[in-house]
Amino acid sequence: MKKNVGILLFDQVEALDFAGPFEVFSVASELHQYELFNVFTVAKTPKAISAINGLSINPTYGIQTVPFINILVIPGGEGTKSLMNDQRVMDWLRRIQSTVEITMSVCSGARILGKLGWLDGKTYCTHHEVYNDMKEIVPTGKPVKDKRFTGDGHIYSSAGIAAGIDLALHLVKEINGEVVAQKTMKYMEYRA
């Protein structure tokens, strides 16, 4: 069954944090007649956002009009610090979490998972420069600093930036099998 992959965008998002998983899920689907994933971006509103270093991105949806999400991707970046205090977005994330099958964070996107309480007592990965912040955000969380990603229940998190590609490929494999994951990696010329 085709899965909707919603990737959250916000000002000062790290570009590769969202673009890496976007490419993995999109390529996996493209290589299989677009039957595996419907990948789209979502932000507080559909107006353009500015990523770190000035890349302008037009989200596909605002949170008011976004379709059902099976897989939620929360990227990182400096903007996660202000996003943690954006009540409208945080309330939306709480509301949809009961219907989302898998939530994954990339890099400092773990701040959002921690702030929402989704990492309480759970293992997590994040960017190596964010672990100190996480001690305050989620004191009961269990940091895993020696891995590229980890999963605890339906919540997954990855280390910094490029590790989001590793986690997205892992999820493609978990959902669609080794053959699909290997075909995706080969097309992307990605070597683990």
pLDDT, tens digit, 9 for 90 and up, residues 44-93: 999 999 999 999 999 999 999 999 999 999 999 999 999 999 999 999 99
Q: Does the pLDDT of residue 192 top 80, yes or no?
A: no
Instruction: Say what the pLDDT of residue 189 is.
Output: 94
Q: What is the pLDDT of residues 132-160, one digit of tens each?
A: 999 999 999 999 999 999 998 899 999 99
Q: What percentage of the chain exceeds 90 in pLDDT?
A: 96
DSSP state letters, 109-166:
GHHHHHHTTTTTTSEE---TTTHHHHHHH-TT-EE-TTSSEEEETTEEEESSTTHHHH
Q: What percentage of the chain exceeds 70 in pLDDT?
A: 99
Cα distances (angstroms) measured from residue 171 to each of 31, 77, 113, 140, 154: 16, 22, 18, 26, 11
Instruction: Say what the pLDDT of residue 159 is.
Output: 96
pLDDT band at 29 (very low <50, low <70, confident <90, very high): very high
Pick from 100, 99, 48: nearest CA to 74: 100
Pick from 10, 181, 34: nearest CA to 93: 10
Domain annotation for the chain: domains and CATH numbers: 3-188 (3.40.50.880)
Instruction: Say what the pLDDT of residue 1 is.
Output: 86
- CB of 123 closer than 8 Å to CB of 147: no
